[in-house]
Structure 1
Amino acid sequence: MPSPTIHPAPVTATPPILTAGSPFTAVELQAMEADGMVRRLVGRAYVPVRARTTAELRARALSAMLTARVRERAVAGRMTAAWILGCAPPPEMPVMLVESTRRLARLGTGERLLVHEVSFGDFDVLEIADLRVTSALRTAVDLAIHSEERIAVPVLRRLLAREGLGLTVGLMVRSLEGLPAQPHKKRARRILERLQS
């Protein structure tokens, strides 16, 4: 009796993140983009044109743009975190958040980034593909506080609708009200009220 044939499980290849110098130059990557071989995902990070865009791929692309020091010390936040979660357009200047107890001046970003000093709670940060990113709840509350209403509302609606994030307006309201007094809190309340209508 012949032995049964064993078929290995298909291996899903992880799409490469291509940046200038590894292994193509910036000009070569732009030519490959013009030829429809790659597409720019964020900043100077490109992926094969058929790569499925996931939170992990976005996080890997952003991570490829950052220095090791930034990856170690900073957390992708606000609209950048919303983009990683698939609910906002790619950021022109990624927003990275740094714990206020760390020395911001020594970060040495090496890239065009917006860096803000903040405080994090115990459940404010998660890891996606080795990049630290604010949680969906922290991201939503930050957007309500720090973004203009016309920009925040559509992104917050997409975050609320995104399956698996577990966000509700009630949860966002409770989180906002648990914060100390700060600028723009009144605007944030107005934005969250608008989401309930």
Structure 2
Amino acid sequence: MATPLHPAPASDADPPVLVAGGPFTAVELQAMEHDGVLRRLIADAYVPIQCGEAPELRARGLAAILAPRLVHRTVVGRLTAAWVYGCAGRPDTPVLLVDGSRRMSTLRATHRLLVHEVYFGPFDVVELAGVRVTSPLRTAVDLAIHSEEGVSVPVLRRMLAQPRLGLTVGLVARGLDALPRQPHLARARRVIARVAGAPAS
């Protein structure tokens, strides 16, 4: 079961996430974006221009564009999880993770996605607004291992700069040390060394 992440205080009470078909068409939503009434949150999901972003709102945006079965059977991960936490740019192709014991062939998406089979530890998944997301620590470890240095270093610095995420360089380094041997572990350690050697941006 995913652990709920402590929510940040919300300034907006559940602002609407709008997608085509209820109650507006895609053309109407695009027109309202053009007029400055809405802004695109992710893919074809829009929110009122005045509402502030929070991890819970980004998670709701993802849920709005994904098939319900995907929301229930996958975990948002890697750079997409970092975006949910407010530490990476909006993903063009959301990354979803599925437990290695599940059959990926049964998953169907309505939007372009990347889906990876992984294995989760007992504390690797948290829940935000009903969406399962890799925990901040698992996200940081995954980024160090799977993303190129030029991408992962600035994102990790932003994650470390957010007290709410509860990360330190030492904690991420210990997370890497706890992993079994894998091809990119040496690169991941270089990434963490680079992050430790410069202030967060």
What TM-score, normalized by structure 1, do the two folds share?
Answer: 0.93
- CA deviation map 1:84-129 (0-9, x unaligned): 0010011000000000000001011222110000000000000000
**Structural mapping, 1:158-173, within 5 Å:** 158-173=158-173
**Structural mapping, 1:1-197, within 5 Å:** 13-197=13-197
The ranges of structure 1 where at least 4 consecutive aligned residues each deviate by more than 4 angstroms after the TM superposition are none
Amino acid at match of 1:23: P
Distance 2:28 2:114 in 1: 28
Stretches of structure 2 lacking an aligned partner (at least 5 in a row): 1-10
**Identity between Structure 1 and Structure 2 (%):** 60
83-92 or 107-116, which moves further after superposition? 107-116
Contact 2:12 2:52 in 1 (8 A): no
SS in 2 for 1:59: helix
Distance 1:120 1:180 in 2: 13
Amino acid at match of 2:127: E
Distance 2:186 2:80 in 1: 23
Task: Return the offset for 1:53.
Answer: 0.5
Task: Return the offset for 1:12.
Answer: 5.0
In our comparison, the structure showing a higher alpha carbon Rg is: 1
Distance 1:168 1:35, change over 3 A: same
SS in 1 for 2:182: coil
Matched residue pairs, number? 187
Task: Return the offset for 1:13.
Answer: 3.0
Q: CA RMSD in A?
A: 1.0
